[in-house]
Structure 1
Amino acid sequence: MRVEIWSDIACPWCYVGKARFEKALAAFPHRDEVEVVHRSFELDPGRAKDDIEPVLTMLTRKYGMSEEQAQAGEENLAAQAAAEGLPYRTRDRDHGNTFDMHRLLHHAREQGRQSELLDLLYRANFAEERSVFDDDERLVGLAVDAGLDADAARKVLADPEAYAAEVREDEREAAQLGARGVPFFVLDRSYGVSGAQPVEVFGRALTQAWGDRTPLRSVVGDDDADAAACGPDGCEIPQG
């Protein structure tokens, strides 16, 4: 069975949702027969590569909230991440264009190191002090840590067309499948799960998809609603 996950490195709910899904997968009896593929989705595709701003500045501008409200939202997100065992910096993080990271992730997939690189990109963006947006050598270093060749990673980043078509194709498929935001999980092209759902919802989706190959259906929680997610208009802000 194949599980495809559309996500963006700049999306905090993708960071949390990946951890929750992996907990469900670890408990799934057929986990060794599940292939996980990570797909590209840019939350801010029109942003220039050199257009980098602090996360709090972006939040106040996009949502029209005060800096205090934005900071409170970040603190609540940190609590959500901590519940999944994930570190999360609530201050001094940057926001920027993620296109090159997605291109590099496609390269990593060809080398069998996609999930490893994605974990490192998430951790670097959400938990570490040094920005992932302002220096290609930072991305090269993360690629090496994921087990990729440094020169090959530099070559990908130096060529703006390398894997660009693959990123755009992922985004086109997301639109065709009706993804309004990320994370968006598609199980064997039979079931769709939107947002950073609880672990038990992912577990139920895996069980249903394993036993029933049908047209794409939506699997949601008990309240019959999508979980927290990020979309083109921004990320949902958790309330205290």
Structure 2
Amino acid sequence: MAVQVEIWTDINCPFCYLGKRRFEEALEAFAHRDDVRVVHKSFELDPTLPRAHSAAVVPHIAEKYGISEAQAAANERGIGAQAEAAGLTYQTSGRDFGNSFDMHRLLHFALAQGRQEALLDALYAANFAEDAPLFGDAERLVQVAVGAGFEETAVRGVLDDPDAYAEAVRADEAEAAALGARGVPFFVIDRKYGVSGAQPPEVFAQALEQAWSDHAPKLVTLAGSAEAEACGPDGCAVPERN
């Protein structure tokens, strides 16, 4: 018996970075954690961006939400404080954003090798915890993947073939749309329970417990006559003879 958790994310998304850690905190405390299978799925926040696009995050946030750059910078610091509270490193300035399609293709490549989690963590660290820009630079992407333990020739082979794992990425995105996901992170448990956003660990814990209880429902005892015979810890009552 296993519980399946599918998580739609994008490397651009700071709340995906934060939500992953909060979910992991809940999973670590879950009594049946060894029976939980986690799969990460693709979601592009802006699939219209050119492949080589890279630009500063703060001006982008200011323009997108119609706020000042000072407000956007303050928002970044606020997310940074949440990340720090969760034990994560977060660069509140100097980060870039861009097209993440090739990253998602590489994540499917890593999934095929049974090491998706390692690459996802490396990409998150490269984007949110390190100073160097991540997007729009194929060599930087190769460097991150190789640093996560993947063979360089294989990584370059995926990046050099625009069709490699492209259908898998599109299929994930089509699934997200069919399930009604309008943003990320988006968690789907056993295709029955959905959790949207970087919720507190206790919310994820509650969802895991509910999903597990569905697999192992509690017995409902149907009461009968109060005088019905039964055996207990002191033995079995012997009926009186007339």
* Map 1:28-67 → 2, pairs under 5 A: 28-67=30-69
Match of 2:102 among 90, 97, 100: 100
RMSD over aligned Cα atoms: 0.9
* TM norm structure 1: 0.87
> How far off is 1:132 after superposition?
1.2
2:133 counterpart residue number: 131
In structure 2, distance between residues paired with 1:134 and 1:97: 7
1:167 counterpart residue number: 169
Match of 1:184 among 176, 179, 186: 186
What amino acid does structure 2 have at the position aligned with 1:104? L
2:83 counterpart residue number: 81
In structure 1, distance between residues paired with 2:136 and 2:172: 25
> How far off is 1:211 after superposition?
1.5
8 Å Cα contact 1:113-1:148 kept in structure 2 = no
In structure 2, list runs of 5 or more residues that go unmatched: 216-242
2:143 counterpart residue number: 141
> How far off is 1:50 after superposition?
2.1
In structure 1, list runs of 5 or more residues that go unmatched: 214-240
> How far off is 1:134 after superposition?
2.9
What amino acid does structure 2 have at the position aligned with 1:72? A
8 Å Cα contact 1:113-1:147 kept in structure 2 = no
1:16 counterpart residue number: 18
In structure 1, distance between residues paired with 2:129 and 2:80: 10
Query: After the TM superposition, which parts of structure 1 deviate over 4 Å for at least 4 consecutive aligned residues?
Result: none
In structure 2, distance between residues paired with 1:96 and 1:12: 13
* TM norm structure 2: 0.86
Q: How many pairs does the alignment contain?
A: 213
2:221 counterpart residue number: none
What amino acid does structure 1 have at the position aligned with 2:94? D
Structure of greater Rg: 2
What fraction of aligned residue pairs are identical, expressed as a percent?
A: 62
1:110-163 CA-to-partner distances (Å, cap 9, x unmatched) read 111111110110111011111111321211122122221110000001111110
